[in-house]
Chain A
Amino acid sequence: MTELVVGTTPVVIEETRGFWEGTLVGELRVQRCTACGARQLPGGPCCSSCWSRDLVWEAVSGCGTVFSFTVVRHAFHPSFADRVPYVLADIRLDEGPILTSNVTDVAVEEVRIGMPVRVWFDEPIEDAFHTPLALPKFRPE
């Protein structure tokens, strides 16, 4: 079977631009609705709670806990062949939304549900249209 390999770099679109701009200045940002106060990730064209379009990107603490995770031991995509085993985790931010990312700087066997983590930002890269961004990742507090 031949495989069409799809790229692994995010693509910055209008709905996520504020998020990625934040990563370049060391801020983890969440979209907040100024009409009802709901916070959401990923960014969208409207507030998914009240449909207001009055949305702002707001820096959050960067702190959260591991809500769930997996230790990936098989590389399903060639880009990750030299990274296995790695931890893919859903981080529940202290401010509410869940963000999928990696937990780094810890043995994969030690990652636990409920583990407190804090964000850090990887080296800046560019998306396919040369828009700069930096991947937010997490390490134990």
Chain B
Amino acid sequence: MSTSGMIAIAGVGTTPFGKLPGRSAWSLQAEAVRNAVADAGLTKDDVDGLFTEPQFSEPLLLHGHVLGRMLGLKTDYLSTISIGGATAITLVQQAAMAISAGLCEVAVCVYGENAKTGLPMLFGLAQMGRGQADDIAYGMAGGPVMEARSAMRYKHEYAVTDEMFGAVAVSFRHHATMNPAAMYRDPLTMEQYLASRMVAEPLRVLDCTIGASDGGVAIVVTSAERARDLAKPPVLVAGMGAGHNLDGLKDPAHYTHFAGARSSQRAYAMAGIGPQDVDVAQFYDCFTSTVLITVEDYGFCKKGEAGPFALDGNLKVGGRLPTNTSGGMLSEANMTGWNHLAEGVRQIRGECGARQVPGAEVCVVSGHGGFQAAHATLVLTKGGR
């Protein structure tokens, strides 16, 4: 049994991204929700499901309940989860499941954060569990330090060059130059990439996601049947998958193989497609190395071949696998994977202007995080009216 094609994304809402001083995380979440519901042609009273990612600022156990009260929602179903960079996609999956199970009809999934100008980004690792977080004693603080050991091992095993990492950053920045919402829109050359500061070898500052951004994203999920009559063309949730390498980097294999292989295979099978059918990808790009490994895990290249694939321009619009057409978290904004979902929906709708992939009908979106452990996948396709 699967929900393939029965559930649709009917609305997408974003706030401006970047530095938004004076805006609370709550206000960004509220704005994203209002925009998404309006985009779908629905109203507040249509919403009966709420799915939230808790914020770093003012962290609360009952985040969803507080946001729902602020928005005046009467939700029948509500869920708040936090599994790192896989949260956005996992919440959409949960919304799809809740709708197909008859627990609600119109669900809103939302993220919003004032991480740039507002309250503290905690040093996440130290919060991951006492006793398990002792690695911070050796200087394992900051995302790049955590990721660099995977990137170093990947370079070592597959003879990946600096330029191959750079090709990812250059490609995504190229897309961002065509995205008015992106925080970084200046073109980036390979020379500029190679000259950028090394932060945690082999990762340069331009290998890393934009540190922190203010902003919010919301997604409206409903049944494909209901979506057919709403304001925007429905985007079907054709496939879903997830996988978790819970032992992270304690298992030598997990430095170069993420749970994305399992996650994508399940999503492809549910959608009845394979990598050859994908028109556009939105891959979680906390780091350039993460993208190359994901391209391989998702079956677009054999292991070790994503670097040359990227160097040949295949991740750009016009290439074989246009990826992160908004600029992603490397150039658009760090919305912890939520902006990838928004861009995926807009690509399938054909709303992306200069960066639109012509005739895009199948988009694959990945979420990745939890210290190399968490992974989730969505396959989005064009729905009929």
CB-based contact B250/A135 at 8 Å: no
Contacts of B201 in A (CB 8 A): 70-73
B122 at the interface (CB under 8 A from A): yes
Residue on A nearest B157 in the bound complex, by CB? A113
| Interchain nearest-CB distance for B24 vs A (Å) | 14
Residue-wise interface mask of A (86-97) relative to B, using a CB-CB cutoff of 8 A (1 in contact, 0 not): 101110100001
Interface centre among B115, B134, B199, B203 (most CB of A within 10 A): B134
Partner of A3 from B120, B203, B252 at Cβ < 8 Å = B120
Bound together, the chains give a CA A77 to CA B135 distance in angstroms of 13
The answer for the CA separation of A9 and B139 in the assembled complex, in Å, is: 10
Q: Which of B125-133, B217-225, B348-356 contacts A (4 or more CB under 8 A)?
A: B125-133
* Contact of A13 with B141 in the complex, beta carbons under 8 Å: no
- Contact across chains for A76 and B149 when beta carbons are under 8 A apart: no
Q: How far is the CB of A57 from chain B (nearest CB, A)?
A: 14
Pick the residue among B130, B145, B205 that contacts A72 (CB under 8 A): B145
Whether B136 lies near A8 (C-beta < 8 A) is yes
| Contact, CB under 8 Å: A77 / B153 | no
A11 interfacial contact with B, CB 8 Å: yes
- Determine whether the beta carbon of A68 is less than 8 Å from that of B138: no
Chain A 1-19: CB-based contact to B (< 8 A → 1; otherwise 0): 1111111111111011000
- Chain B contact patch, size range: 35 or more
A10 with B134, Cβ < 8 A, contacts A73-B199, A83-B139 known: yes
Q: Mark A44-83, 1 if CB is under 8 A from B, else 0.
A: 0000100000000000000000011111111011011001
B53-98 CB contacts (< 8 Å) to partner A? none
In the assembled complex, B212 has its CB within 8 A of some CB on chain A: yes
- CB-nearest residue of chain A relative to B151? A70
Whether A102 sits at the interface, judged by CB under 8 Å, is yes
Task: Classify the interface of chain A: helix, strand, loop or mixed.
Answer: loop
Q: Which residues of A contact B203 (CB under 8 A)?
A: 70
Instruction: Determine if B197 and A68 form an interchain contact, defined as CB atoms under 8 angstroms apart.
Output: no
Structural contact, B150 and A68, CB atoms closer than 8 A:
yes
* A2 (CB) vs chain B CBs: closest residue: B120
In the complex, the answer to whether A70 meets B136 with C-beta atoms within 8 Å is: no
Tell me the bound Cα distance from A15 to B122 in angstroms: 25
Chain B residues with CB under 8 Å of A48's CB are 247
Mark out the residues of chain B between 122 and 168 whose CB falls within 8 Å of any chain A CB in the assembled complex: 122-123, 126-127, 130-142, 144-145, 148-150, 152-153, 156
Q: Does B117 contact A (CB under 8 A)?
A: yes
A77→B131 contact, CB < 8 A: no
Q: Smallest CB-CB separation from A4: which chain B residue?
A: B120
Q: A100 to B131, Cβ gap below 8 A?
A: no
Please provide the 9 A-B residue pairs with the shortest distance between their CB atoms, ordered closest to farther.
A76-B142, A70-B148, A77-B141, A10-B134, A13-B131, A6-B126, A68-B153, A74-B199, A4-B120
List the interface of chain A (C-beta within 8 A of B).
Answer: 1-13, 15-16, 41-43, 48, 67-74, 76-77, 79-80, 83, 86, 88-90, 92, 97-98, 100-102, 113, 135, 137
Interchain Cβ contacts under 8 Å between A and B, 19 examples = A6-B122, A7-B126, A10-B133, A42-B131, A42-B132, A68-B152, A69-B149, A70-B152, A70-B203, A72-B145, A72-B148, A72-B200, A73-B198, A73-B201, A74-B142, A80-B141, A88-B139, A97-B250, A102-B138
Additional A-B contact list (6), CB under 8 Å, known A68-B156, A74-B144: A1-B212, A5-B123, A7-B126, A68-B153, A73-B198, A88-B148
